[in-house]
Amino acid sequence: MSVVIVVGAQWGDEGKGKVVDLFTERADVVVRYGGGANAGHTLVIDGKKLVTHLVPSGVCHPGKSCVLGDGMVIDPLTLLEELAQCQARGLLAHDELLIGLGAHVILPYHKLVDGLREDRGAKQGRAIGTTRRGIGPAYEMKAARRGVRVRDLLRPERLADKIHQNLDDLGPVIEHLGGTRPTEREVQTWIAEAVAAGERLRPYTGDAGRHVANAIARGQHVLFEGAQGCLLDLDHGTYPYVTSSSTIAAGACQSAGIGPTQIDAVVGITKAYATRVGEGPFPSELHGEAGDRLRKAGGEFGATTGRPRRCGWLDLPALRMGVRLSGMQSLALTKLDVLAGMPDVQVCVAYKLDGRELDEPPTDPDDLMRAEPVYTRLPGWGTLPSDAHDITDLPASARAYVETIERMAGVPFCLVSVGPDRSETIRLHDPFA
């Protein structure tokens, strides 16, 4: 029996889709544990692209149980669209998807408030750069104990009551932010849509926590799929430039309602360089041509919003923080091939701040904005062999890069990805073993 958590070690978009897909071969149950349609995975099945935002990346393996945990915030209309796309490809039969009844629901007014706040923030130079998918407002309502949950979709009267209560709270906020308070007619349409979505989703809903706990008790392999990355964690990330959920490994236990004693392994995923979407400090960011080159080579455009991602050199202080926050025992390195063809590559090994050298990001965001990266320069490498199956198959300088990161992050690699294909992977250690 193995219970493994896979988590992004940076600011999200580390290539979790490919790694989760590979690990799912070994799993019986795959659980998405936080966030909502702010995440995006591009999966390629039989040469056809499938972009998922809510459904776990394990969806490509028929026969596996895919769970949306209670810690998520789910947009029911987006989920129905994804479900239809998956089922058109013969994926996600009825008994392969379980939606936690305790998960919260994103409704049109959450997205409206998210967008209005971002527009206002942009004018005042204070935008977060959210995905505008309503994530923050939905988690706010949850914390205020006014949220709408999946179980409410199945009880139309309670749902209507909650939606009216929410809009009673949010109406003045919407007006204050320059929006127009929704009319009763609009509200009725939203309620009707939510009720209809609930009816269609009803067969997939259930007690997700119990389902996961039972699977663990039966000795099945369970894989928790983190969304976003550790540095976007609400409590420990680069606040306020974070998402509104617990993205670190501990969030998996919280969302599924299982104890930390049940977890066997935590695997972090890091790209061979760094990216960030939205606003917030990013000390190793590359501007101009150097950043453009990485963006183009790595296809660094958001799967959810299409926004160009900010790109930079690998940031070891940030990575060390991710390793610490999630208790990672191993790392998966992705997109090593993207750095191929550079005369040399750099790694940010520390920050300098007020004459001191720091091995992890300072906790105050204004200090992090001022922190100067300290770089080490390493020789570059040419094209990587796509059939590399062992670390010794890599050119010496690529190997030296991998070993340097491993040594300086203090955690061994379990996998190195040298291309987008499943086959372009060096597997060093099986976390389910």
Q: Which residues of this protein are in contact with ligand IMP, per CB under 6 A?
A: 11-13, 38-39, 128-131, 133, 135-136, 227-228, 232, 241, 243-244, 277-278
Beta bridge partners of 357: 352
Ranked by CB distance to ligand IMP, the top (closest) residue is 278
Cα 395 to Cα 390: distance, rounded to the nearest angstrom: 11
Does residue 339 come out as left (phi exceeding 0), alpha (psi in the -120 to 50 range) or beta?
A: alpha
Q: Which of 13, 21, 152, 337 is catalytic?
A: 13
Is the Cβ of residue 57 or residue 244 nearer to ligand IMP in the bound state?
A: 244
Nearest distance in Å: CB 126, ligand IMP = 13
Is the Cβ of residue 139 or residue 413 nearer to ligand IMP in the bound state?
A: 139
Nearest distance in Å: CB 77, ligand IMP = 17
Give, rounded to a whole angstrom, the gap between the first and last alpha carbons of the chain.
9
Nearest distance in Å: CB 192, ligand IMP = 26
Is the Cβ of residue 221 or residue 271 nearer to ligand IMP in the bound state?
A: 271
| 184-216 burial: b if 16+ Cβ within 10 Å, else e | eeebeebbeebbebbeebeebbbebbebbbebb
Q: Which of 21, 28, 41, 211 is catalytic?
A: 41
**Element spanning 191, H or E:** helix 184-201
Nearest distance in Å: CB 230, ligand IMP = 12
Q: Which of 193, 245, 252, 196 is nearest to 67 (CA)?
A: 252
Is the Cβ of residue 105 or residue 227 nearer to ligand IMP in the bound state?
A: 227
Cα 261 to Cα 253: distance, rounded to the nearest angstrom: 9
For the question of residue 13 being annotated catalytic, the response is yes
Is the Cβ of residue 231 or residue 258 nearer to ligand IMP in the bound state?
A: 231
Cα 372 to Cα 354: distance, rounded to the nearest angstrom: 10
Q: Which pairing describes strands 3-8 and 265-271: parallel, antiparallel, or unpaired?
A: parallel
Provide the Cα torsion 274, 278, 280, 283; round to 10°.
30
Is the Cβ of residue 310 or residue 320 nearer to ligand IMP in the bound state?
A: 310
Nearest distance in Å: CB 318, ligand IMP = 14
Residue 397's Cα: distance from chain center in Å?
31
Is the Cβ of residue 166 or residue 244 nearer to ligand IMP in the bound state?
A: 244
Are 272 and 338 contacting, i.e. CB atoms less than 8 angstroms apart? yes
Q: Which of 103, 111, 29 is nearest to 71 (CA)?
A: 103
Q: Which of 88, 401, 96 is nearest to 271 (CA)?
A: 401
Q: Which of 374, 283, 305 is nearest to 13 (CA)?
A: 305
Is the Cβ of residue 52 or residue 425 nearer to ligand IMP in the bound state?
A: 52
Cα 26 to Cα 429: distance, rounded to the nearest angstrom: 13
Nearest distance in Å: CB 37, ligand IMP = 9
Rg (CA), the chain: 22
Residue 412 DSSP code: -
Nearest distance in Å: CB 220, ligand IMP = 27
Residue 361 DSSP code: -
Nearest distance in Å: CB 12, ligand IMP = 3
Cα 106 to Cα 39: distance, rounded to the nearest angstrom: 14
Give SS3 for 189.
helix
Catalytic residues, by residue number, are 13, 41
